[in-house]
Homo-oligomer: A and B are copies of this chain.
Amino acid sequence: MSNTDFTIFSSTQLREFTTEVFVHFDVPYDDAILAADVLAYSDEHGIDSHGIARLKTYFDLLRTGKINPKPEIKIIREKSSTATIDGDNGLGLVVGPKCMDIAIQKAKLHGSGWVSVCNTNHYGAAGYYPVMALKDDIIGLSMTNTTKGVAPFNGAEKMLGTNPLAIAFPAYKEPPIIIDLASSAVAYGKVEIADRKNEKIPEGWCIDKNGYSTTMPSEMINGGALLPLGSDKDGSGHKGYCLASMVDILSAVLSGANWGPFTVPFAINSALPEKQVGKGIGHFFGAWEIDGFRDKNEFKTNIDEWIHTMRNTLPRPGTSGVLIPGDPEREAYQLRMRDGIPLHKEVVNSLMDIASYTGINIPS
């Protein structure tokens, strides 16, 4: 891919366009701003797979009436530190932040807050949600289940999603620690990129449609599956399967959403699961107030020391040494807020399609 495949946009341009597109489909203005903020978080932090590159899919779902633009989210069960919420089939980008906020409010009152969510849709990057909690010195956590793409350990077919887990810890003088990881060995996007470039992929990423390990991206794409984190027996692939299961159960079985292979797909042209076992997909949000455990300033000062200690690890030869979770995204943020956000021509084309359908121009 040459540089001419990319066009640079400012974050403000993308936020304005995204907001207007959501408003066009009757999403209330404040909700549209919020949804645009969730997508912009990804684009600004270099998480290209979860930002405006996906606007076209949200657009398709709104255009065809598959997502409710004006959801009334409802608490359907509650105790002081827990709740289950029905997202009324709204945008995950709107339902997600509102539910995370309820978890945060509960943590302020009771030390911790936990919200499971059913009847919702794709919520963007998992890392957005714990970051919401940082300003209140709260440790935030988020999980979501996603459409099947990953084989369970020793399985030969897709049964679970890439089911991510994110958690963030505030520091004092240092930037926060932000963990955001999918429970698969790699993201599907990496396989797609290798396929486009006609390159092989490493052992341990994928199996083909018969369950054999493959290094050919096309063999995964045509009926194969991703492998869980840890990949195979030697690498402890059962652990990635366990993590994906945990995320699936907390997000979807606990909330009454669709789980495992029945999880509703995100893209509009994907095959629907053979049956529904719940409502929509599921998220799970958590919040722990640090002051419920330890003086928050002591904690944050200790986190600074923890960060310094890890940064001072002897580096492995041939590497740039140990990073702190969140470092790569912070580096991308600084570059992109200064130089702009490069969008691949395929993404730009998808925005042009949206612009021509809605009559909304990308601001210049």
Binding site for B on A (CB under 8 A): 77-84, 110-112, 114, 116, 139, 151-157, 159, 167, 169, 177, 179, 181-182, 185-186, 202, 204-205, 207, 210-212, 229-231, 234-236, 238-243, 245-246, 248-250, 253-256, 259-261, 277-278, 288-294, 298-299, 302-303, 305-306, 309-310, 313-317, 319-323, 325
Contact between B298 and A256, CB atoms less than 8 A apart: yes
| A79 contact from B110, B153, B239, Cβ within 8 A | B110
Residues of B within 8 A of A306 (CB): 248-249, 253, 259-260
Residues of B within 8 A of A207 (CB): 316
Which of A80, A81, A253, A315 is most buried by chain B, counting CB atoms within 10 A of its CB?
A81
Residues of B within 8 A of A316 (CB): 151, 154-156, 207, 211-212
Residues of B within 8 A of A169 (CB): 249, 253
| A313 contact from B156, B230, B298, Cβ within 8 A | B156
Contact between B236 and A229, CB atoms less than 8 A apart: yes
Known contacts A79-B110, A152-B310, A259-B306; is A204 also within 8 Å of B293 by CB? no
Assembly CA distance A319 to B233 (angstroms): 10
Can you list 18 contacts pairing A with B, beta carbon distance less than 8 Å? A78-B292, A80-B80, A80-B111, A81-B111, A82-B112, A82-B292, A152-B310, A154-B315, A156-B316, A169-B253, A179-B246, A204-B234, A253-B303, A254-B288, A254-B294, A255-B293, A256-B298, A260-B306
| A253 contact from B84, B157, B240, B302, Cβ within 8 A | B302
Assembly CA distance A159 to B291 (angstroms): 27
Residues of B within 8 A of A112 (CB): 79, 81-82, 112, 114
Contact between A260 and B114, CB atoms less than 8 A apart: no
Residues of B within 8 A of A211 (CB): 314-317
| A315 contact from B114, B116, B155, Cβ within 8 A | B155
Known contacts A236-B229, A292-B82; is A155 also within 8 Å of B77 by CB? no
Residues of B within 8 A of A242 (CB): 179, 181, 325
